[in-house]
Amino acid sequence: MQTCAEWIMQATGITCHSDKVRPGYIFVAIVGRITDGNAFAAAAAARGALVIVSDSPARLPPLTLPVITVPDARLALARLAALFYGNPSDKLHLVGITGSNGKTTIACMLEHIFTQAGLTTGLIGTIRVNTGTNSFPSTLTTPDAVSVQHYLAQMLKNKVTHAAMEVSAQGIDMHRVANVRFSAGILTNLCADHLDFHGSFASYLEAKAKFLDLLGTATPLIVNIADPYCQAIAGRFSGKLITAAIDSPADITASITHLTTYGSAFTVTVNRPLEAGNGQMLPAGRYPMTLALPGRHNVENALLAGIAALVHGLAPETIGAALAGFRSVERRMNIFHLEGLTIVDDTALNPGSIDAVFAALASFRYNRLIVVNAIRGQRGTAINAANAAALTGQRRKLPFELIITASNEQVGPADSVTAEEKLAFLTTLNTLKTDYTYTGSLSGAIRLALRHALPGDLLLLIGAQGMDAGRQVLSSLAKTPENPCRDQGHYPRPAWSAAAE
C-alpha cells in the first residue's frame, strides 16, 4: 500500500473537515473532544476523497476507497499538510511565541519591527493573520495544522521573509504546529489558564514545556527568566538559551527609567555578546528605548520582542525606532476618554493578565475606579474561580467598585456563560467577602457603571469574548439621555450589593 507521502503526490488537497473535501483530497479522520471524524468518512468519500487516514480504523464505516492507518491522526495531519505545502517554514524566519500572556502584543510588535526594518512580514495570531499581501481576522490563536501550513505557504508566495506566530498550549497539545520550523522561540510567562482543556495547571505547564520539542538545538529560546515557571521549563532546554528580565539578572535586561499613563522609557542592557542569526556578534552595551504603551508588562513584552529582532540581525537603533512608533493592539490596555471619564479596555482573562492590568493602573491619575468584568464562558469553573480570587486580591490593595456580567446578549453558544461558571465566579467572591453587583447583560453592567461614574473617574473594562463589544456598548450608552456623565453626575447612586440575579 502507498505511504502517506506517496499519496501526497496525487492529492489535490488535505483536510480533517468532511464538508471541505473536494475530489482528490486526503481526509484525515480525527477523534475530537466532541465529534469523531471517523463517523464522517463516508461523507468525505462521497465528496470525492482520494484516501482516508485514521488512527482508529475500527471506528470507520464500510468504505471502498483506501484507508491508511497511523499511530496518531493529528500528527499525521500536520505531517501531511507540511508535505503538501512544501514545508514552507523551512524557508522563513519564523518566531514562535508561547506563554500565558503577552503573545498577541509581542507578535504584533515583531511584525511592526520587521516591517519598519524594510522586511516583508507575516503574522499568525489571535487577532489576525497577515500573509504579506492579505490581512484578515483570525478565529483561533493557533489555527489547525492545515491552515497553519497554508498561511505559511501563502507568505512564501507573497515573498514574506520574516513572520511571527502565536503558539497556544492547545495548539501544541493538538499538534497544530508539528512540522513547523521556528527560527526562534519566546516563552513569555505562565499562570493558570485553559484549565477546562488541560484539566490542571500541571498539565497546562507540561503542554507549554512541549514547545521546547519544536525548537532545534541551534534555535534560540528567549525566556522571561524572572517568571519561576518559565525558569523551570528553561532548565529543561538543551539548546541555545537567551534569558531576559526586568531589573533581575539575565543575559539581556531592561531597566525602567520612566513609567506613565501613556508610555515608558527604559534601557536595554546586553550583558554578554549576542550572536545574531546572520553570524554577526552584537557586543555588550546599553540601548535607550521608549514605548507608547502603559504598564511594566508592556516593557517586558517589548524586551522579548526586541531580543527576537536582535537575534535576527536587526540593529538596536532600528528596533528602538520601531518600538517608539508602535501603538497598542486591539483590547490590550486601550485607553480612551468619554464624557470626562478615562476608560481602559483590556482582554484580561486570567489571574496573570488581571494582575498586570491593575499594576499598570498605578501610573494613572483618577478619582474613583469602577471595574466591569465579564465572566469567561465555556472555559470552565476553575479559571473563573481563579479570576474572581485575583480580583479579590486586587481589591484588598486598591479600592474599587466591582460589576460582574455574563454578557448574555453579546456572546454566542461557544462563549456563553454556564450556570456552573457563574456560580463558581460569584461564590468565590462571596466566600472571600468581596462586594460586587451582578447583571446578566453587558449593556446593563455598563449602564450601571455609567450611572455611578463621575467626571474624573476611571472605568476599567476587562474580560475576553464577553467584553469584546464593551467599548461599542459604552459609546452607544453614553449618547443616551440617561447617561449621568452628561449632566455632571446628578443622579442618585444605588448601594452596591453582593446580590446576584
Are 196 and 317 found together in one domain? yes
237 within domain boundaries? yes
Are 34 and 108 found together in one domain? no
Q: What is the pLDDT of residue 4?
A: 73
pLDDT per residue as tens, the chain (501 positions): 567 778 899 999 999 999 999 999 999 999 998 899 999 999 999 999 999 999 999 999 999 999 999 999 999 999 999 999 999 999 999 999 999 999 999 999 999 999 999 999 999 999 999 999 999 999 888 999 999 999 999 999 999 999 999 999 999 999 999 999 999 999 999 997 887 777 888 999 998 999 999 998 889 999 999 999 999 999 999 999 999 999 999 999 999 999 999 999 999 999 999 887 667 888 899 999 999 999 999 999 999 999 999 999 999 999 999 999 999 999 999 999 998 999 999 999 999 999 999 999 999 999 999 999 999 999 999 999 999 999 999 999 999 999 999 999 999 999 999 999 999 999 999 999 999 999 999 999 999 999 999 999 999 999 999 999 999 999 999 876 555 443 333 233 333 333 333
Are 270 and 365 found together in one domain? no
Are 376 and 283 found together in one domain? no
Cα separation, 435 vs 498, in Å, equals: 5
Sequence-ordered list of residues with C-beta below 8 angstroms from that of 35, at least 6 positions apart, any chain: none
Are 103 and 140 found together in one domain? yes
Q: Which of 113, 41, 141 is nearest to 308 (CA)?
A: 113
Are 271 and 349 found together in one domain? no
Are 151 and 290 found together in one domain? yes
Cα separation, 361 vs 296, in Å, equals: 10
Cα distances (Å, whole numbers) of residue 440 to 379, 391, 424, 461: 17, 19, 15, 15
Residue 173's CB: how many other CB atoms inside 10 A? 18
415 within domain boundaries? yes
CATH of the domain at 378: 3.90.190.20
pTM of the model: 0.93
| Domain termination residue (choose one: 14, 45, 76) | 76
467 within domain boundaries? yes
Cα separation, 217 vs 248, in Å, equals: 26
Q: What is the pLDDT of residue 23?
A: 97
Q: What is the pLDDT of residue 481?
A: 59
| Domain termination residue (choose one: 50, 76, 102) | 76
Q: What is the pLDDT of residue 76?
A: 95
Query: Cβ-count burial of 480 within 10 angstroms (0-12 exposed, 13-18 middle, 19+ buried)?
Result: exposed
Are 293 and 343 found together in one domain? no
399 within domain boundaries? yes
Burial 395-418 (b: 16+ CB within 10 A, else e): beeeebbbbbbbbbebbeeebbbb
Are 166 and 228 found together in one domain? yes
The grid cell for 59 is 471506528
The grid cell for 75 is 500528527
Q: What is the pLDDT of residue 487?
A: 32
Are 118 and 266 found together in one domain? yes
Domains: count for the chain: 3
Q: Tell me how far apart the terminal alpha carbons of the chain are, to the nearest angstrom.
A: 62
230 within domain boundaries? yes
Cα distances (Å, whole numbers) of residue 97 to 76, 163, 182, 350, 391: 23, 11, 10, 18, 27
Q: DSSP secondary-structure letter at 163? A: E
Q: What is the pLDDT of residue 198?
A: 76
What DSSP element (H or E) covers 110? Answer: helix 103-116
Q: Which of 141, 133, 116 is nearest to 306 (CA)?
A: 116
CATH of the domain at 20: 3.40.1390.10
Domain around 399:
334-487
Cα separation, 22 vs 271, in Å, equals: 55
Are 288 and 340 found together in one domain? no
Are 380 and 405 found together in one domain? yes
119 within domain boundaries? yes
| Domain termination residue (choose one: 304, 324, 344) | 324
Cα separation, 122 vs 499, in Å, equals: 48
CATH of the domain at 273: 3.40.1190.10
